[in-house]
Amino acid sequence: MTHTILLSAALAALCAGAAEAQTAAPDSGRFIIRHGADTVAVETFGRHDVTLAGTLEIPKTSTSETFTATIAPDQTIPLVEVIIREPPKVLSSEGLDVATMPHREPHIVERARAIFRGDSVAVDAMRSSGIATRVFGTQVGALPYVNLSFALLEQALRRAATTGGQVPFFNLAGTQTLVATVTRAGADSAQMKFGDVQIDFRLDPQSRILGARIASQNVIVERQ
C-alpha cells in the first residue's frame, strides 16, 4: 500500500533524539567477506558520534552500496539512507581499443531513505522513474538490514545488549521483518541466529566484531 506522508517533522524529532545519545569513541575498519576462497564483498565503515556509515563493494559485479545511519540512545537506528551504484553499461567493445576508452564513473541506480517509528517504517525510494514513498509494518525497535553488512550486524549486537538478546530486522531489499536471537558465549564471542542460519562472532574486549563465520554457507569474515 502506498501512502503520501510528511517526513520533515519526523526527521527533526528523530535527529534531535539521536543527538542526545551516549556513544562510544570513533571507530573505523574494514570487513572482508569470503565464500570459500572467493571474496564476495568488502565493507569499509566508520562510526562517529551518532552516525554509522559504510560502503559495501561487490568485486564480481563492481556494484557498491553505501549507507549512512543515525544511531539513537537505545542503539536503534531511526533513520538510514542507502545509495546503490552500478558501473556504466557498455553495449559492445568489439573493434575498440579498451585502453583508449574514456573512464566512466559508476552511476546511481537507486537512492532510498527509511524512517523507523514505532511498528512501521516509511521508505522513500528514488529511482530514474521518480520517487515513491511506501509505509510498511514491522516490529518496534527493528533495525535496518543490508545484506552482507557486518557493520550493521555489529550494531545489532549493541542493541541486543539492551533487549536481552532479541533483535528484529527490517530487510530493506525485501521489506520483510525477521527476528534474530543473540547469545553471548563468554566475553570474546557471540552467536546470532536467523531461523536455521547461525553466525558465530569473535569479539574484542569492546564487543567489536573481529571475525565471523557462517558455517552452513561456508562464509568467513575478517576485520582489518
At 30-42, the pLDDT tens digits run 999 999 999 999 9
Which helix or strand (DSSP H or E) is residue 131 part of? strand 130-137
pLDDT value for 94 = 57
- 3-state secondary structure (DSSP) of residue 205: coil
**Is there a domain that residue 125 lies in?**
yes
pLDDT value for 83 = 95
**Is there a domain that residue 17 lies in?**
yes
**Is there a domain that residue 112 lies in?**
yes
Maximum average pLDDT range among 21-30, 40-49, 121-130? 40-49
pLDDT value for 103 = 52
Range of the domain at 203: 8-92+104-223
**Is there a domain that residue 97 lies in?**
no
In this structure, are residues 161 and 167 in contact, taking their beta carbons and an 8 Å threshold? no
Domain count for the chain = 1
Radius of gyration of the chain measured on its C-alpha atoms: 19
* Confidence band of 106 (pLDDT split at 50, 70, 90): confident
**Is there a domain that residue 50 lies in?**
yes
**Is there a domain that residue 2 lies in?**
no
Checking DSSP bridges between strand 166-171 and strand 143-145, what pairing results, if any?
parallel
Q: Could you tell me what percent of the chain has a pLDDT over 90? A: 66
**Is there a domain that residue 117 lies in?**
yes
**Is there a domain that residue 3 lies in?**
no
- 3-state secondary structure (DSSP) of residue 10: helix
* Interior angle at CA 184, CA 178 and CA 187, nearest 5: 145
Half-sphere exposure of 131 (CA within 13 A, CB side): 10
Which helix or strand (DSSP H or E) is residue 85 part of? strand 79-86
Distance between start and end Cα atoms, the chain: 42
Choice between 2 and 142, residue whose per-residue pLDDT is larger: 142
pLDDT value for 164 = 87
